[in-house]
Amino acid sequence: MFKVLVVAYYFPPLGLSGVQRTLKFVKYMKNYNWEPTVITTGNVAYFAHDKSLTKELSDSNIRIIRVSGSNEPNSILSRLGTVKFPSEFLRNILDKLSQTFFIPDNKISWSKLAAKKIDEILSSEKFDAIFVTCPPFSAFDAISKIKKNHDVPLFADYRDLWFKSYFAFYPTPFHKIIHKNKEYHALRAADRIIVTNRKIKEKLLHTYPFLTFDDVVIISHGYDQKDFDKIPAQPKPQNKMVLMYSGIFMVYNSPVYLLKAFKQLTVERPDIASNIELHFVGFLRKENQKLIRKLKLQQFVKDHGYVNHDESIAKLKSADVLWFMVGRRRNIDAILPGKVYEYIGARKPILACVPEGAAKMAVEESGAGYICGPDNVVEIKNMILKIFNDYKNNKLPTPSDEVLEKFRRDNLTELLTKQFQLKLRADV
């Protein structure tokens, strides 16, 4: 087999959105004649640890090298294990402080240790490629600097934008210049850039004209068909339409507009509202729970809390309609939540409260979407009414078999390994 070093800070036992894409890639790489070795973090404090993904990793028999001893916050607080998610107000303050003092991010110390470890490994073992997943972008920055010491192709996987990200905060012009300069040099060192959607590709090509169209390759998020085959749906309430959200709320998304829209529905059409339940899987957050009580919607809302990935799949399969939103922010058109493809994999219709951009395009492509603006309460309420009418008349749409096939994790991994192969052939 060919050998690839995969560098990923976010990896099991950690949970949440940044983990699954990389785990599924390494799980299926051996099917396409590539043997992965994963460089990841050791024991750290984090908001979620996922036992089911950890077991899946163990069953996959992947070689893991864990790099510990860094001075980044999660490592310093590792003895705390799983920590509580802070309020959005506090998280936003801590995030701005972090971005003020750490460039490109607060994982710098871990990334330097990881790069040092990779330097040692490449001095004694032969690898055919390095695949680094971002964020954290400090890993891409650090590894791009040691690439000159080793003749190994470097592939970077962009789950989000780096420069001018929708998450970015630049307290001074100096911060913005340094970020762009670091990204420029990292991209110069890379042999290929993988991105999750067309909008990220367009922005990279526009910002860094030295990149060619073929330098940046789109490999979308996806879903693992094996998850949906082996995990049965959980029972759902009888005679009620379940509208479900899976994930966390932070920075660019909020349930506020959906809850206000549903409150209007309870006033104007209590007969319909009484036949709908709003389910939240993940971190609903205290501020949103407080709003639910203020709007007196407790009887309509079920908060499942954070669950392991296999249980979240079971809940997605039990729902009638799946919902997500993307708010209006700078460059938000380039964000594409990974949950969209798990929603597609569940073969469910999707209520997407989104602006123009990659997320809207993905739901349109699914052929099973109900799309409206993210912050128009009346529009959201009317869309819920339309969905309920389709539900009662058994007219809810589902994704086509063609779409389902396109976004299978195993098929996406094949596309990734083909990029590795193309680079190797070009170097022969």
Question: How is residue 291 written in tokens?
Answer: 């709003």
- Rounded average pLDDT over 117-133: 96
Reported as a single tens digit per residue, the pLDDT across 296-351 is: 999 999 999 999 999 999 999 999 999 999 999 888 999 999 999 999 999 999 99
Q: Is the pLDDT of residue 81 over 90?
A: no
The angle formed by the CA atoms of residues 295, 297 and 301, to the nearest 5 degrees, is 140
Tens-place pLDDT, residues 385-415: 999 999 999 999 999 999 999 999 999 999 9
Tell the CATH topology of 2-222+408-427: Rossmann fold (3.40.50)
CA distance 153 to 323: 40
Q: Find the largest Cα–Cα distance for the chain.
A: 70
- The whole-chain average pLDDT of the chain stands at 94
Is it the case that residue 428 has pLDDT exceeding 70? no
The answer to whether domain 225-405 has CATH 3.40.710.10 is: no
Burial class (CB in 10 A: 0-12, 13-18, 19+), 88: middle
Q: Which tens digit of pLDDT belongs to each residue from 182-226? A: 999 999 999 999 999 999 999 999 999 999 999 999 999 999 999
Q: What is the pLDDT of residues 14-48, one digit of tens each?
A: 998 789 999 999 999 999 999 999 999 998 888 89
User: Of 91 and 183, which is predicted with more confidence?
Assistant: 183
Whole-angstrom distance, CA of residue 255 vs CA of residue 380:
11
Question: Are 155 and 128 a contacting pair, CB within 8 Å?
Answer: no
Evaluated on CA atoms 373, 376, 380, 382, the torsion sign reads negative
pLDDT at 189: 96
Through-space distance between the first and last CA atoms of the chain, rounded to whole angstroms: 17
Mean pLDDT of 359-373: 96
Q: Between 89 and 161, whose confidence is greater?
A: 161
Residue 255 has which token pair? 């349930």
Q: What is the pLDDT of residue 175?
A: 96
- For a pLDDT cut of 90, what percent of the chain falls above it? 86
Do domains 2-222+408-427 and 225-405 share one topology? The answer is yes
pLDDT of residue 363: 97
pLDDT given for residue 251 in this prediction: 83
Domain boundaries, the chain: 2-222+408-427, 225-405
